[in-house]
Homo-oligomer: A and B are copies of this chain.
Amino acid sequence: MTAFSYDLLSTDGTARRGRLHTAWGVVETPVFMPVGTAATVKGMMPESVKSTGASIILANTYHLMLRPGAERVGRLGGVRKMMGWDGPLLTDSGGFQVMSLGPLRKLDEDGVTFKSHLDGSKHRLTPERSTEIQHLLDATITMAFDECTPFPAEKTVAADSMRLSMRWAKRSRDAFVPREGYGQFGIVQGSVFADLRAESVAALGDIGFEGYAIGGLAVGEGQEAMFEALEFTTPLMQTDKPRYLMGVGKPSDLVGGVARGVDMFDCVLPTRSGRTGQGFTRRGPINIKNARHAEDNRPIDEACSCPACSRFSRAYLHHLFKADEVQGLMLLSWHNIQYYQDLMADMRAAIEAGTFAQFEKNFHAMQSLGDIDPLDP
């Protein structure tokens, strides 16, 4: 078996090119992890996800504990085996989803009691139970259970919330059952307050994890504030451990995150957009339902190698979305995941070549060009 470890291969400014070794495969970083909330990346076969270059995916503790249930997934051999995913898997702790339930949840020092959004049934998550569930799900990377501090938050509220998360991080670590090639990440909180983020980084470092996530961002603070928070947080983090920015983001968020020293990302955006008709391209996003695509025989993105682009036209995809055909979301989700993976691969190559600043400039220039007019290609 392989030990869980991270190699920092090279840097370019603050951007990092690394390699994560796990029991279930190697992850080249910076990496984007497609989200398979309920043990399926919506609308995609696992080998289709793999074919895009994705090396690690994410699944959600909250959804899977409710349905089909953590113990059941455990009896079925874990998420990877159940869904046929040939690679490492990261699970969140359930904390973020539970906090999103608002009045349906009640928090105390020990944990959180909440009602299921599915049937109103009562459930409880504590650091110990979240860690146990993630073990049952057979997560290659387990996340510490935390409170995702709402935004905006008064500093005293943010401090109390962060310190609770740090006490929970210790309990999560104590509950974690080490296995060769498996790891657990702590989550830095502290909202947009630099001193709180610093206190959180230090507290987690004292506990000691295989990696560290940055939580509580991409919750409404905006890209500028998020980048600012990264700028005062990542320099404090250990250089020999992977850094994961949770729930992020748009293509420009990924580029800005990598520029600021982030190694790992996850987001539902490429698949969610794929279901609603938004396709990401090297010249910015397009809405495939727009009438101007109705007879456009070009692919979504000429430079993309995915099946949607190499074998089907915008006109056909437009038709599939207009007719509410499931193949529309299958193809556009596939394309968007491919786009995200290509973007990460390009960033890895740029860091290796020492040309990341140029890459970033070109990326923004291309994105701002906008889509080519089909009448004047």
Q: B-contacting residues of A (Cβ < 8 Å)?
A: 38-40, 42-45, 63, 67-68, 72, 75-76, 82-84, 294-295, 297, 307, 311-313, 315-316, 318-320, 322-323, 325-327, 329-330
Contact = CB atoms under 8 A, between A and B. Distances in A.
Given A67-B322, A82-B315, A84-B311, 19 more contacts: A38-B319, A38-B323, A40-B325, A42-B326, A42-B327, A43-B330, A44-B327, A45-B330, A68-B294, A68-B318, A72-B294, A72-B315, A75-B295, A76-B295, A76-B297, A76-B315, A82-B316, A84-B312, A326-B329
Contacts of A313: 76, 82
19 contacts: A38-B319, A38-B323, A38-B325, A39-B319, A40-B327, A42-B326, A43-B330, A68-B294, A68-B315, A72-B294, A72-B315, A75-B295, A76-B297, A83-B312, A83-B316, A84-B312, A326-B326, A326-B329, A330-B330
Nearest to A311: B84
A324 to B, nearest CB: 9
A62 to B, nearest CB: 13
A91 to B, nearest CB: 16
A313 B327 CA distance: 23
Contacts of A63: 323
A307 B46 CA distance: 11
A195 to B, nearest CB: 42
Contacts of A44: 327
A76 B9 CA distance: 48
A45 B76 contact: no
B67 A319 contact: yes
A311 B45 CA distance: 11
Contact of A45 (B39, B67, B307, B329): B307
| Pairs of residues from A and B, 6 with the lowest C-beta to C-beta distance, nearest first | A40-B327, A68-B319, A38-B323, A43-B326, A84-B311, A40-B325
A298 to B, nearest CB: 12
A43 B315 CA distance: 18
Given A67-B323, A322-B67, A330-B330, A316 B42 contact: no
A265 to B, nearest CB: 23
Nearest to A322: B67
A325 B329 CA distance: 12
Nearest to A319: B68
A316 B45 contact: no
A290 to B, nearest CB: 14
A329 B325 CA distance: 12
A329 B45 CA distance: 12
A295 B311 CA distance: 38
B72 A40 contact: no
A117 to B, nearest CB: 12
A84 B75 CA distance: 41
A353 to B, nearest CB: 36
Contacts of A75: 295
Contact of A316 (B76, B294, B297, B330): B76
